[in-house]
Structure formats: structure tokens, C-alpha cells
Amino acid sequence: MKRTPILLADGRELIYFDERDDADRSMPDRRELPEPPPASELRYDPVLDEWVAVAAHRQNRTFLPPSDQCPLCPSTPERATEIPAYDYDVVVFENRFPSFSHRIGDGTGHQLAEGLVPVVPGRGRCELVCFTADHDSSFAKLTPERVRTVVEAWADRTTELSALPGIAQVFCFENRGEEIGVTLHHPHGQIYGYPYVTPQTATSLDSARRYRHRTGGRGLFADLLAAERADGSRVVACNEYWTAFVPAAARWPFEVHLYPHRQLPDIPALSDAERDAFGPIYLDVLGRFDALFDLPMPYVSAWHQAPVHADRHLAYLHLQLFSIRRAPGKLKYLAGSESAMGAFVNDIRPERAAQMLRESR
């Protein structure tokens, strides 16, 4: 794999990940662009003990443009896009409308407010990952070889972002489908470098810590995987290195977790064999999602990685894939109980969901 970093016209970084060593990436960005926006604000919620980012500049981000105006397609002689090259394999670049950024403006170079609700700069990093130059494709249509290239890009960016000052956690994810809220149809994902450990991760690691203490040193995630593999009723697919299963307490109508068989903190820790084996099983599961109702399934695909500096021995790398579609023409909305109380109610038994996914191919 060939890795080529360049700078876009406004100073943002872009990196080509090529499957050919002879790829020419000398094409410059021909656009005239304004400077990137400064970092957002982070406001602390003392009631829930959580940080909330306020990124008002994202109101102006590109929203569902026509295919001939897609900013993630390769450039052409007639039109320059976010990717200067006329073709590419996998590309990662800094988000033009980031939720977090290292660009601290004049008004946010210091702590903005103290007291009950502190306000500080939203220092961090947000990147886009384009999986293919084909606008009409999807992750499920990638080859296993291309998925391997994407895994290499995820590993590279996890390592690089983890080394940046102030980054506490790196999150690689994909949102797919207008029902999920995507604003660009081109097959792509995102990578966030958070300046704090996210609430979901903090809660799960607290659970793992208590379990370890209660059981004399056992690992919560490893025991969970072993129990699912032994039971088998919720296993959707497996190979020598990975197991995909519907969790017994799934919150979403169709939710699958993919675990490597070794406890690892993050994507860079995966071996070559584990990276090779990931693509085929993940593509199989994505294909089952799309075949379930014979139409493209909206989903969120989220890598759970260890924090950069804390509790790495407790974490267990895994991928969470879930959809809000519960039936053709019916979506699972986060209404009163979920949105206000954080108390999920699932309409489909996890065992039934696993059976439907096993039978969908």
C-alpha cells in the first residue's frame, strides 16, 4: 500500500491510500477556499457529567447535493472537488466542517467560561474516509482487498490521531442512509479524535472494571464473547478470527457486534491475518442486512476502541453495526423513553433478529 499525504488549498491535510505503488498523486488542489473554521465550543453538562460540542459552523455544511456536485467524487478537468486526483482508491482528509479541530481561534485560545457550566475550546480532529471513487457504490459492494485497504487507513489514522496532543479517544464510524441522517450519499465514513473519553466508552469500561473486581480478574468482553459462541443462538457468522453475533440485550431492531477472538485495544493491534479475515465476514454481514428486506439498509457502523491513555487493559476492540429499520417502511424512532430517559425498548427479540439475518442470504 502506498501512502501519500498532501495539503488542500486551505491547509487541511489529505492522505491517499493506494493499492498501486505507481499511483501519481501530484495533482494540486485548484480551488480557492476560505480558511477552515476555528474549533467549536465544548460545554460541560454538570447534571449528566458529559461534554457537549457546540459547532455552529456545521449549519452551513453541504447537504445532499446532486450526484454531479458531490464533493467526495474525484476531481475532473471541469470541476475540482475535495479530492484533487481524477481517481483514487481510499482517501482520508480533514473535514471541512469539523465538530472538533486543532485550529483554536483568537476567541477560543483559553478557557472561555468557568463556573457551573465551563466552556472550553473543542480541540480535536475530524476526518472523512472515502471508501471508493465510485459514487454509486457502497461498503457492502467493496472487494475484500479494498476493505483491507480501508482497515489499513483506519489503523493509520488511529495511530496518528492518538499521538496528537489532547486526543483522548479515536472513533472510526460510518453512517449510511438518509434515514440515519447522512448529508452526502458518496460511500464514506468518518474518524473523530475526541478530547475526552465518550460517555458510552466510559460506562462500558466502568462495567468491565467492576466485573473484573467481582470475578477475581476475568474480562467482561472476553466472557461475553465466549458465552455467545457457546450458546450460538444469536451468532450470525464466524470465521477463524472473528465472530458476529446479535447481543442478547440488543437495543436496536437489527444489531450485530463483530469481535476478534483475541482481546485487543484498537485497530492498529490487529495482526495481518485478523485484518485479512475481517473483510469477508463484515461484507457477509452487510450483505445480510441489505438482503433482509431486499432494499438498502440504513445503518451505523461503529468501532469501539480503547481510550488513548486510560483503561486500555479493560477494553476489547469490536465493531457495532445497527439499523433503525425494524420492517419495510417502518423505522425505530428514539421517542420518549429512549430520548428522554435513555431507556431502550426493542421491538424484535434478539434471537429472532439473528435467525432472520442467518436466513437472509
Q: Tell me, what CATH number does 76's domain have?
A: 3.30.428.10
Which residues contribute to the annotated binding site? 70, 73, 135, 186
Q: What is the residue range of 331's domain?
A: 200-358
Cα separations in angstroms, 79 against 31, 69, 73, 75, 85: 9, 9, 10, 6, 11
Cβ of 289: how many Cβ atoms within 10 Å? 24
Question: How does 79-116 read in b/e, with b if 16+ C-beta sit within 10 Å?
Answer: ebbbbbbeebbbbbbbbbbbbbbbbeeeebeeeeeeee
- 257 and 322 part of one domain: yes
pLDDT of residue 106: 56
Alpha-carbon separation of residue 310 from 48, 66, 93, 306, 324 (angstroms): 21, 44, 27, 8, 32
As a whole number of angstroms, the distance between CA 113 and CA 117 comes to: 8
> What pLDDT, on a 0 to 100 scale, did the predictor assign at position 113?
66
Do 191 and 243 lie in one domain? The reply is: no
Same domain, 149 and 11: yes
Note whether 190 and 206 are same-domain residues: no
Residue 188 annotated in active site: yes
Binding residues for Zn(2+), by number, are 70, 73, 135, 186
Q: Are residues 276 and 190 in the same domain?
A: no
225 & 295 share domain = yes
Number of domains in the chain: 2
Residue among 102, 185, 188, 318 flagged as catalytic: 188
Give the CA-trace dihedral at 152, 153, 157, 158, to 10 degrees: -40
Q: What are phi and psi of 73, to 5 degrees?
A: -75, 160
Mean pLDDT by 10 residues, the chain (361 residues): 97 98 96 94 95 93 94 98 98 97 68 79 97 98 98 98 97 97 96 98 98 98 98 98 98 98 98 98 98 97 98 98 97 95 96 98 79
Are 246 and 169 in the same domain? no
Nearest by Cα to 350 from 261, 269, 231: 231
pLDDT of residue 115: 84
Report pTM: 0.96
Which residue type is seen at 351?
E
DSSP state of 178: T
Give the span between the Cα atoms of 72 and 65, in whole angstroms.
Answer: 11
pLDDT the model gives residue 109 = 42
